[in-house]
Amino acid sequence: MSVEKLTSEERDSWLAALPQWALARDGDAIARTFTFADFSEAFGFMTRVAILAEKRDHHPEWFNVYNRVEITLTTHDAGGLSLRDVKMARKIDALA
Ligand code: HBI
């Protein structure tokens, strides 16, 4: 399935519904930082996200240190943001 890059208008309207996420990489990605009580909570979240990523075949770029998880979403196949990223961000928020 070809994955279409969002136009800047599409991007802005979708992101209005994702206020916790910020544009990154000159608008080609979105990013959010999650902070948990401790490492165990953070890693449990990462495990849930990993299972989701495999299920959707759409994988985050992420960094973890102790109780903090930084997630960046972009669609390599589209060379920027696609609907896959928007849908994934919404599902990741529900897993936090
Ligand atoms: N994950 N974030 C992200 N972006 C992609 O384009 C992507 C992916 N996971 C798997 C995937 N693409 C496959 O369709 C192959 O392109 C690797």
DSSP state of 38: S
Residue 1 lies in a domain: no
Q: Please indicate whether residue 75, judged by its CB atom, sits closer than 6 Å to ligand 1.
A: yes
Residue predicted with more confidence, 96 or 2? 96
Residue 73 lies in a domain: yes
By CB atoms closer than 10 A (0-12, 13-18, 19+), residue 16 is exposed
Tokens encoding 19 = 């206020």
Distance 84 CA to ligand 1 centre (A): 10
Q: Please indicate whether residue 87, judged by its CB atom, sits closer than 6 Å to ligand 1.
A: no
Residue 18 lies in a domain: yes
Distance 73 CA to ligand 1 centre (A): 10
Find the domain containing 13 and state its range.
Answer: 8-95
Strands 22-24 and 29-35: antiparallel
Query: Domain with 52 in it: what CATH number?
Result: 3.30.1360.20
Residue 46 lies in a domain: yes
Domain count, the chain: 1
Tens of pLDDT along 38-89?
999 999 999 999 999 999 999 999 999 999 999 999 999 999 999 999 999 9
pTM: 0.94
Tell whether ipTM is more than 0.90: no
